[in-house]
Chain A
Amino acid sequence: MNYEIVCGIETHVELATKTKIFCGCTTEFGGEPNTHCCPVCTGQPGSLPILNQKVVEYAIKAGLALNCKINTKSHMDRKNYVYPDLPKAYQISQYDEPLCEKGYIELDSGKRIGITRIHIEEDAGKLVHENGYTYIDYNRGGVPLIEIVSEPDISSAEEAKEYAEKLQLTMRYIGISDCKMQEGSMRCDVNLSLRKPGDSRFGVRTEIKNINSLSFIRKAVIAEAERQADILDAGGIIVQQTMRYDEGTNSVTPMRDKENSDDYRYFPDPDILRFSIDDEKVEEIRSSLPELPFDKLKRYVNVLGLPEATARLIFRYRKVAEFFEGALAEGASVKNTANLIVGTIFSNMDTEEEKELFTTRISAAQSAALVKLADEKKINIGVAQSTLQKMLESGKSVEEFIKPEDLVGISDEELESLCKEAIDANPKAVADVRSGKDKAINMLFGYIMKKTGGKADIRKAEALLRKLIGQ
């Protein structure tokens, strides 16, 4: 039987503030266990939290980038539960007054996935199980998080993946998180239920916790939808429970719950004063936001006229996009700049991470100087590519590799006499071309390129040769 998927995603994103949400400890990933800690983030008796204003600012950025309404009044709540990785036995979070509400992410299809809310909270420590003992590392405890809760508007595995991908890209773009799913700086919980098409009621849902890659989100949704469909088809009922996705077996299995009860006894944290955010502050943050990634993509295609495939390769890395736009600002052409980035610079970068970091030894202006030579046809694209490669390896400017005398293009007269020379020197090739073996003309090109050190305009040369050969 066919079912309709009803799916919502809760995403935890670790914010890239320098210090933790309630103390001055570093948020750096890793480190020797329990070295990024203090009385506050290990919940020592008598310690008190101080809310990091950067966290509030970053969360508002996220809210604005996801089209949310920003609540001008907000406060922190305590979520009480007992677990060894939570040193105070409560997590400071937000319950009934989240910072941001009612936003959305637009999918490529134009469908909007609603964002119910975004709130700020602290991360817990980490349990490490080794040799039959359990150790606790509180380095991660108190690292700021935002939790982004979507509406159950997602209706396929592909939509789920696209939602998470767009969310990830947007958060990276606005610079509030690196959103590395492998390192846990972005974690997704997928809520899923099935219903018969046309049914307006929701079925019983399950929650798949802590999915750590985009492709696993897609796979987990497929696997869980299949599992639920099998149960329903056999006349069974779905049990509301927490599940785990196992990438090895590509299956979803029930997980033991951390707590027996769902009663977190939320109440306002008396240690942290209620806070308000004035409209001015919100506008200031709004104006600090960069152009958002999908606006940029649209502009690259619709305004700059880039082919969509090329535009997609460039826009998704904020630093690449900045480099690209930096070169354009120096007067380089859209097409040649894009092609050089995608063709030459990217071929030096094997991983997504390298593209994300985009550490090149040359500046956008240096690359623009090169591109402009190609734009003006003072060098051909092949020379541009090989020169760029040399520039990338050495960090030196274009002048180091292309001398002024190289730049003086071959005059039409010179080119014509070279063409005549080529014809005289290659009678066999000329005969072959005349008899229809067109590839033989490459022999003549090779001659001209060798003589000019690759500087000749190949299209002009071809036209001249064909004229002289009499074609």
Chain B
Amino acid sequence: MRARISELAKRLQSREISAVELTKAYIDAIEKLNPTLNAYVHLTFDTAQKAAEQADQMLKKGDAPLLCGIPMALKDNICTDGLTTTCCSKILKDFKPYYDATVWEKLKAHGAVLLGKTNMDEFAMGSTSETSCYGAPLNPRNTNYVTGGSSGGSAAAVCANLAVYSLGSDTGGSIRQPASFCGVVGLKPTYGAVSRYGLIAYGSSLDQIGPMTNSVKDAAIVFDAIKGGDRRDQTSVDYDYGSSLAESLDRDVKGMRIGVAEEFFDGINPEIKSKIEEAIKLIERNGAVIESIRLPALKSALPVYYIIACAEASSNLGRYDGIRYGYRTSSYASIEEMIVKTRSEGFGDEVKRRIMLGTYVLSSGYYDAYYKKACLIREEINREFDAVFEKCDVLVAPTAPNTAFPLNYKGASPVEIYLSDICTVPVNIAGVPAISVPCGEDAKGLPIGMQIIGKKFDEATVLQVAHFYEQSAGKVIGDYEGGAGI
């Protein structure tokens, strides 16, 4: 049973069901399934019930927004006034911000009902959500496998129908890769399209909040609600998208130029490769023109990403010192000792690894060789994307080179896991939008995701192509049995 915002909104607005009833159904499902799936790390049922009552008032008056009364979830790195927000890190244990992230402020105004905060890799650093201090969420499609990450809990909640939609954040693939692993839709908007105010920073020049949903249309509905410039985020852009993107999805792909870059297919699992190729053929049969293009700088994208993201992270995470909020070590003799012990005890290994890496690449003597060079290559990658989008309307690529890892899969080294970001990080480096849509399953029944990448602020075309594919391909993955029954 896959919940759709568009369908539920109709039933809510016709008063066939009430927001309170709908919320209750989700709360029951969470209580039943979350102990196993671990998708949520903080539950906000009290506020959810109140929000549902208010939503019903709005619905009664009529003319309520589409998202009014729809139960949803937020990744645990999105600040919620008075509600625990920890980035799934011990160092932010019990942290309750006294301000709302702009996205949450906007959704609240739409009458959203927040069920809870979802599990994630600690500070969004990881590709499996296993670095969470609350333990990993499990992939609802097969609980022996990971959800992907870092927005693993957000993906699992939507997949298992424990939320109608959720927000994730994407720094190097953290929305799209778990969407692909769990068989849901995940949109990473253009850098600047959605305000980052209240998103706890990992890599500030790469981070972007986006929706995770059961359909492309739902992703468009949520994106419509959260996008827009924000005077509290200087990097946000008040781009004029014209009309609602959810209402302009119906466009066929006839004559559309679809770029396919072989660099995206290097070292990809053959099963995934063949599913993507099938999808490309489907689009081609419907009149799109397939352009073979090259993105040679892509081979440097992964190191560029890890250098820039870790450099920014090393600085962004300096503030967690135990002084003002979050975890503080229990015994210390001096401020210096308190800070060192707090950080040593509060951060997990992956976070420490990235802080060290980032500190190193910014150190004098290494700055030019690493950080500065990475910034130069970033510009080169941007130029290549710009050139490609002169010739193509969108690019199609796999979302990940593999399907979900088994739980506790260590690989040969952390680098092997890092490699699973290879198809997603170039998109963050270039700041362009991309969506992951399910396009099939592997032999083990694990979902495969296809990525559609567009030019800056052209979410419209990205969503149109994704919607077209979703509608024409029909059922490509099995249904998840369970979750909220409504």
Contact = CB atoms under 8 A, between A and B. Distances in A.
Interface stretch (A37-45, A164-172, A321-329, A370-378): A37-45
A263 B364 CA distance: 6
Given A88-B318, A88-B319, A273-B234, A45 B95 contact: yes
9 contacts: A44-B98, A46-B79, A48-B197, A48-B234, A80-B315, A82-B339, A87-B324, A265-B364, A267-B367
B323 A51 contact: no
Interface string A12-41: 000000000000000000000000000100
A362 interface: no
A263 B314 CA distance: 14
B235 interface: yes
Contact of A271 (B95, B97, B234): B234
Contacts of A84: 321, 323, 335
Given A88-B318, A89-B319, A271-B234, A265 B362 contact: yes
Q: Contact size class for A?
A: 20 to 34
The 10 closest A-B pairs by CB, nearest first: A89-B318, A270-B205, A265-B362, A270-B204, A45-B200, A46-B198, A46-B79, A46-B200, A43-B319, A88-B319
A123 to B, nearest CB: 17
Given A48-B197, A50-B231, A267 B335 contact: no
A48 B198 CA distance: 8
A97 to B, nearest CB: 14
Contacts of A44: 97-99, 324-325
Nearest to B86: A45
Contact of B201 (A46, A266, A267): A46
Nearest to A88: B319
B363 A263 contact: yes
Nearest to A23: B232
A51 B231 CA distance: 11
Given A39-B97, A44-B99, A136-B323, A267 B234 contact: no
The prevalent SS among residues of A at the interface is loop
B313 to A, nearest CB: 11
A20 B202 CA distance: 25
B318 A80 contact: yes
A89 B339 CA distance: 11
Contact of B98 (A39, A51, A78, A272): A39
A64 to B, nearest CB: 26
A50 B200 contact: no
A435 interface: no
Interface string B92-103: 100101110100
A90 B97 contact: no
A39 B204 CA distance: 17
- Listed residue (A44, A46, A263) with the most chain B CB atoms within 10 angstroms of its CB: A46
A47 interface: yes
Interface of B: 77-79, 85, 87, 92, 95, 97-99, 101, 196-201, 203-205, 231-235, 311-312, 314-315, 318-319, 321, 323-325, 335, 339, 359, 362-364, 367, 371
Contact of A273 (B78, B196, B235, B324): B235
B315 A265 contact: yes
A447 to B, nearest CB: 78
Interface of A: 39, 42-51, 78, 80, 82, 84, 87-90, 134, 136, 263, 265-267, 270-273
Contact of A265 (B98, B205, B233, B363): B363
B99 A271 contact: no
A270 B202 CA distance: 11
Given A45-B87, A267-B311, A271-B234, 6 more contacts: A39-B98, A45-B201, A46-B199, A48-B196, A80-B362, A263-B364
B234 A82 contact: no
A267 B371 contact: yes
Contacts of A265: 314-315, 359, 362-364, 367
Nearest to B204: A270
A351 to B, nearest CB: 39
Nearest to B326: A45
A192 to B, nearest CB: 25
A260 to B, nearest CB: 10
A92 to B, nearest CB: 11
A50 B230 CA distance: 11
B315 A47 contact: no
A82 B87 CA distance: 22
Contacts of B235: 48, 270-271, 273
B139 to A, nearest CB: 28
Contact of B318 (A42, A90, A266, A272): A90
Contacts of B335: 84, 134
B234 A272 contact: yes
A196 to B, nearest CB: 32
Nearest to A273: B234
A89 B203 CA distance: 16
Nearest to A127: B335
Contacts of B233: 48, 50, 271
Contacts of B203: 270
Nearest to A260: B336
Nearest to A34: B324
Contacts of B197: 46-48
A44 B95 CA distance: 10
A46 B232 CA distance: 11
Contact of A45 (B92, B311, B359, B362): B92
A376 to B, nearest CB: 60
Contacts of A45: 79, 85, 87, 92, 95, 97, 200-201, 319, 325
B378 to A, nearest CB: 12
Contact of A46 (B97, B315, B324, B363): B97
A49 B234 contact: yes
Contacts of B79: 45-46
Nearest to A50: B234
A82 B97 contact: no
A88 B318 CA distance: 6
Contacts of B318: 80, 82, 88-90
A292 to B, nearest CB: 33
Given A46-B198, A265-B359, A90 B324 contact: no
Contact of B315 (A78, A134, A272): A78
A44 B232 CA distance: 14
A53 B359 CA distance: 31
A368 B321 CA distance: 63
Contacts of B324: 42-44, 87
A42 B197 CA distance: 15
Nearest to B231: A50
A82 B204 contact: no
Contacts of A136: 323
- Listed residue (A39, A42, A82, A270) with the most chain B CB atoms within 10 angstroms of its CB: A270
Contacts of B231: 50
A342 to B, nearest CB: 50
Contact of B234 (A46, A51, A80): A51
A24 to B, nearest CB: 10
Contacts of B78: 46
Contacts of A49: 234
Contact of B204 (A42, A43, A271): A271
B454 to A, nearest CB: 23
B315 A267 contact: yes
Nearest to B195: A48
Contacts of B312: 270
A87 B319 contact: yes
Contacts of A50: 231-234
A270 B78 CA distance: 19
Nearest to A138: B324
Given A39-B98, A50-B232, A90 B315 contact: yes
A304 to B, nearest CB: 49
A78 B316 CA distance: 10
A89 to B, nearest CB: 3
A133 B92 CA distance: 24
- Listed residue (B79, B101, B234, B362) with the most chain A CB atoms within 10 angstroms of its CB: B234
A48 B232 CA distance: 7
